[in-house]
Chain A
Amino acid sequence: MSDPSGVIAARLAELWRQTLPITLERVAALQAACEALGRNPADPRARSAGREAAHKLSGSLGIFGLPRGTELAAKLEEILKSTDPLSRQATMAMGGLIEDLEAVIASKQM
């Protein structure tokens, strides 16, 4: 029987490519949420959509060998958990975390 770790690594690489559009959609949803919260810091719909995208990224990126991606997404989810209007500082922090997240994902695409 084949080595399970080799089989899993090969299939994970294939699944990463296959589900990359979903991952990128989630990052785009975070970016859209960040922009919407920049315009309206109390926008509950933007916060909820961003939080859901961050939660899903946090759960999936580490499985594909991107623990840093999980860590960044978890920080974004934490920022979006509060029900208070998002401060300008928090919105800026979100923007930085999203940029870092994009860089982590791009590093695996190369």
Chain B
Amino acid sequence: MPHRVLIIDDEEDIREVAALSLETVAGWEVLLANSGAAGIAKANEQLPDAILLDVMMPGMDGPTTFQELRAHPKTARIPVILLTAKVQAADQKRFSDLGVSAVMFKPFDPLTLARDIARVLGWKDK
């Protein structure tokens, strides 16, 4: 069965390109949410294999969304990758210290995004 990845990002262009990349290059199933709250609801309903989570979003930001996901037993074990525009080393460390599976950076290459996700999550099929 293809992997199912939930993309949580308030930016439509980023959501669309990331979805295109994961579906077209890797053949994965993609779920989309445009806010932290919508993403938490979708994660609880759909239990994706992984979550790609934007850091800077209005309302609930990425780190807060991650903590909410970790606080719920149903979603606590879903691997989460934070996605952010390039940040300084101190911010990168702060994000890594949250306990996410990885921190990845925008802009990403749509042709290699799936491979990069598979690599950091230890998925062997891509």
Contact = CB atoms under 8 A, between A and B. Distances in A.
B14 A4 contact: no
Contacts, number: 65
Interface string A1-31: 0001101100110010011001100000000
Contacts of B84: 59
A63 B12 contact: no
Nearest to B18: A63
Interface in B13-52: 13-14, 16-17, 20-21, 24-25
B56 interface: yes
Interface stretch (B69-77, B94-102, B103-111): B103-111
Interface residues of B, number: 19
Contacts of A74: 85-86
A18 B13 CA distance: 9
Contacts of A15: 13, 16-17, 20
A61 interface: yes
Interface string A35-67: 000000000000000001001101111111001
Interface string A57-84: 0111111100100100010010000000
Nearest to A57: B85
Contact of A4 (B12, B13, B106, B111): B111
Contacts of A18: 13
Nearest to B16: A15
A63 B24 contact: no
Contacts of B24: 4, 7-8, 11
Interface of B: 11-14, 16-17, 20-21, 24-25, 56, 84-86, 106-108, 110-111
